[in-house]
Structure 1
Amino acid sequence: MRCTNCNNEIDIETNECRYCGENTVRILTPEEKNGYDGLTIDSNAQEDGFTEKQSSNSYNRVYVRSINPGGNFLTKAVFVLLGIIISGFLFFVALPITLIIIAIAVFTWIVLGYLRK
């Protein structure tokens, strides 16, 4: 955050400028946001579970988007339950079917090998 009085960085812990003592926050313009290398608070942020962070240097820019599903305990329990169901389906249904198909293919290959002799 930048001080509105002297344009220096404000101390995050005290919310005061170390240089002039001012404690107000200034909203950065889009150009200032792109050039700023410190911590900023997005004034247009929504509570949708997504957070974005931009980091840049002289060579490139890196954008990171984090997804926070949030929700209450019931929502998290449903996600865990769905994960268990999908894992169980893959292990107890899809894997045995795949192994049976592989076994049939190997058996057919062996039988056809004996018939050719």
Structure 2
Amino acid sequence: MDSFYARAGGEPAVTEAVNRLYRVILADDRLAPYFEHVDIGRLKTHMVALLSQVLGGPEAYSGRDLRMAHMGLDIGREHYDLVGAYLIGVLAGLGVDDEVLDAVRGVLAASVDDVAA
């Protein structure tokens, strides 16, 4: 059986999902302030690697763990949930199937305490 990564469309689809996700995030006045002093290109590279790994693709993520990367940013649960909803929406818009979406929802639920204050 193919990995969720392969079923989602592999690297091209994950890269497109991340590009779309950050377009939506940066256009949202509730979220954009979190990214004012962030190297978005570098962040996207890390996010492609992280999402690929979460979906069972290449294990190339070399960034800080989620807790360290988000420490001190005071990210509220509502903002975390909003980003998660945007991610699910982007993936669904790219035709990712429900089983993969459910797996991503599970990872989001398991990671909330590492990201949100």
The TM-score with structure 1 as length reference comes to: 0.21
Identify the structure with the greater strand proportion: 1
The TM-score with structure 2 as length reference comes to: 0.21
